Amino acid sequence: MARSLTLDAAPFEGAERSVRDPAERRTPDEAPAAPPSSQDKVVLAVFAIGLVGNIVLQKIAWPLKAGGFVPLVLPLFVAAIALGPILIRPKFDPVRIGGFFLAFLVASFSTFFLAPRYSASSLMLFAALYAPFMIYYETSAANYRRCMNLFVSLMLVYVGVTLAQHLIQLTISWRAWPNLNQLLPAAWLIPDYVYIQPIIYGSRYMKPNAVTFLEVSLLSQFIAVALAVELTLFRRPIRLIVLASGLLMTMAGTGALLMALTLPVLLGRMRMRNAIVMLGILLVVGLIAFRLGWFDIVSTRMDEYKHNGTSANMRFILPLERLLEFLQDPRGLIAGIGAGQIEKGGSFIWWPFVKVAIEYGLVSAILFYGWVIYCLFRNAPQRAFAFVLIVWFSFEGTLLTAHNVLSLVMFGTLLRIAPDGIARRREKEARPSQVPAPETGVTRAPSSRRSAAPLPEPVPAGDVSGAALVRLLGTPDTGGRLIYAIGDLHGRVDLFDKLIARIRDDIATHPGGYEGKPMVVLLGDYIDRGPASAQLIDRILALREDDAIEWRAVLGNHEDAMVAFLDARSSGQSWGRYGGATTLASYGVATPETPEGWDVTREQLRAVVPAAHDTWLRGLDHYIVQGRLIFVHAGLRPGVPLEKQRMKDILYIREEFLGTPVDSDLLIVHGHTPQDQAYGAPGRICLDSGAYATGVLSAARFDGGPIKLLTSR
């Protein structure tokens, strides 16, 4: 049963402060984000089609009348990428496009003018497989995580299939496994892979292939990639244990080797505490494997690389020897032996760089590989994961194998996070449910969830905004107070001044009938990204001199990051990347050019930050309660009482909060997750309209009646 967000009424007597836990903070890039937009859904669908084709249908081929075959994933995924632009706007990087045509033209010149013989179809396949590298889609940080989580979840299913195959062969026989070689005609299957192979030579037990994989080594590699995703993005202990166990259950070495080569980079990108926990989990799994004899079985193949014709030798030694032999001829610099002319056969596994160098020349190989590295690393959502992909492709992949190349596209080049995590403006579609707000004239913010409250008009799907949001939230109880809440400011002192002037005018039209003074609540993230962080804090402090209004402010994750930097609890590099550089500039401090320079920058910032700023930053409320309203920066953890909420949730939570209905009469007023306008669902309203990027600052008035939305531009 889905959890709902319920909070005890006891803490509502006053606004209590949570205990600060520095170890639990997240950097902005670790936080999940908003509900999916229509563009996000299309991107997710394209990614899902790629997963199905590349994993579930990996062994399936489309036979050609003239002979031969095409891996089914190739037309399936390419069609999805080609149809995507009909629904959403793709992005093109000039360097990606130029690099592709440069590498292809140089390879074509080498093929047609310098090679003694060649296969034109091999050259065309080369171009067709790598053409998708030129296109990419921008999506939200949350949707990128959804895509990666879908992949991890699918591989968890395959770990279950792997375990089931072991149980079947231990209790019955491996011959009881579903066998695609027997279930499908040979013409519909991709040949030249060892679909079923013994654990060791002469054994009656076989390595599991999870039914749909071409061979166990690929199953092992995909589980290793999923493990890398989990380590990089999610770090969920149970899933890490299951994936690591599944990797060992394959009894194959390629996935384990991939993890061994990349684990230092994966762990090195984590905070020390997280790295120790992750390493501990992997060590526990390794110890269990040792006790079960896994290392004894694998060690029997450790010296394979020494013997010609063995898998390890053909995979890791022969390619290097062949490349060195080829480069002894000076012509190898610009000329190769011709497209498709390198030695073929089931035992040959040529590294992509080696194949390009030998068939097209060293210059072509350098251009091609530089282009691939650029496509993978340029604006990569996670560079540590991009490193895993390039290692996987370089030493365990092949140049013209569809599942290898399209895996790079799916996991490495197809998706890029939109700048600053803000979703692009949605296409304006004429829909009856999109009623413009009296104040903002905007439409509802799309989401994957459906509003449960009955409306006079048809209930729109997901979150709503504008007039629909006003109707949905009804008349929240303010405890008799007149309250204004303002969303994330991010250094936009110009918009703040305009909005405060508008709030003062609005207060003047409501002169009495309320308990106490009017209250203005600021929802956090006052600094970073925008141009005037220090000046904005000056303005907020000056407003507190106005006794006619009660001024309140809650802590945002960006203020928390700045204080952590000042206290030397963070290096500052992550803070600088995610907006801190503009805050430094507002205080007259330059952003350091090297990692070592951040210590000097810290001392410079300490020297210029006024004591009043420092005191105010350290004294911000963690949440504020008034009537049945809770004001908090990011949201609240579902199912956790208010007084037990953790700092990392109050400051960073997104998906679990936004995806869980509030089943009480509470109204949680928050920011942190930007859309182009204020939006919400039953029990919550978000006032973060991405002011620093959109030029729109949002606020809401709560007076015991219907809420009123206000903006400044």
- For the residues of 310-366, what is the DSSP string, one character each? SHHIIIIIHHHHHHHHHTTSGGGGT--S-TT-S--STT----HHHHHHHHH-HHHHH
Do 368 and 105 meet the contact criterion of CB atoms below 8 Å apart?
no
Rounded alpha-carbon distances, angstroms, from residue 173 to 209, 562, 702: 14, 61, 69
Count of H-run helices and E-run strands, the chain: 28, 15
For the record, the structure tokens of 310 come out as 């063995």
The chain-wide mean pLDDT, for the chain, equals 80
Residues 6+ apart with CB under 8 A from 408: 133, 372, 376, 389, 393, 397
Radius of gyration over every alpha carbon of the chain, rounded to an integer in angstroms: 29
For the record, the structure tokens of 354 come out as 């080696």
Do 44 and 147 meet the contact criterion of CB atoms below 8 Å apart?
yes
What pLDDT does 116 receive? 81
DSSP string, 524-577: S--SSSSS-HHHHHHHHHHHTT-TTSEEEEB--HHHHHHHHHHTTSS-SHHHII
Do 214 and 73 meet the contact criterion of CB atoms below 8 Å apart?
no
Positions in the chain short of pLDDT 50:
1-4, 6, 8-34, 302, 304-310, 345-346, 420-461
What's the one-letter identity of residue 598? W
* Residue 38 burial by Cβ neighbours in a 10 Å radius (0-12, 13-18, 19+): middle
* Residue for token pair 């009955």: 454
What pLDDT does 196 receive? 87
Query: H or E stretch including 669?
Result: strand 667-670
3-state secondary structure of 147: helix
Output the CA torsion 256→258→262→264 (10° steps): 20
Do 439 and 711 meet the contact criterion of CB atoms below 8 Å apart?
yes
**How far is Cα 138 from Cα 589, in angstroms, rounded to an integer?**
33
What pLDDT does 76 receive? 85
Do 11 and 642 meet the contact criterion of CB atoms below 8 Å apart?
yes
What pLDDT does 676 receive? 85
What's the one-letter identity of residue 696? V
3-state secondary structure of 62: strand
What pLDDT does 443 receive? 33
User: Would strands 667-670 and 629-632 be described as parallel, antiparallel, or unpaired?
Assistant: parallel
> Which bin fits 450, alpha (ψ -120 to 50), beta or left (φ > 0)?
beta
DSSP tag of 54: I
What pLDDT does 281 receive? 66
* Residue for token pair 């890490």: 240
Q: Give all domains of the chain, ordered by start, each with its CATH number.
A: 10-25+446-712 (3.60.21.10), 38-420 (no CATH)
What pLDDT does 24 receive? 39
What pLDDT does 464 receive? 82
What's the one-letter identity of residue 698? S
**How far is Cα 158 from Cα 54, in angstroms, rounded to an integer?**
13
Residue of 74, 275, 246, 78 lying closest to 152 (CA atoms): 246
E strand intervals along 179-272: none
Do 655 and 22 meet the contact criterion of CB atoms below 8 Å apart?
no
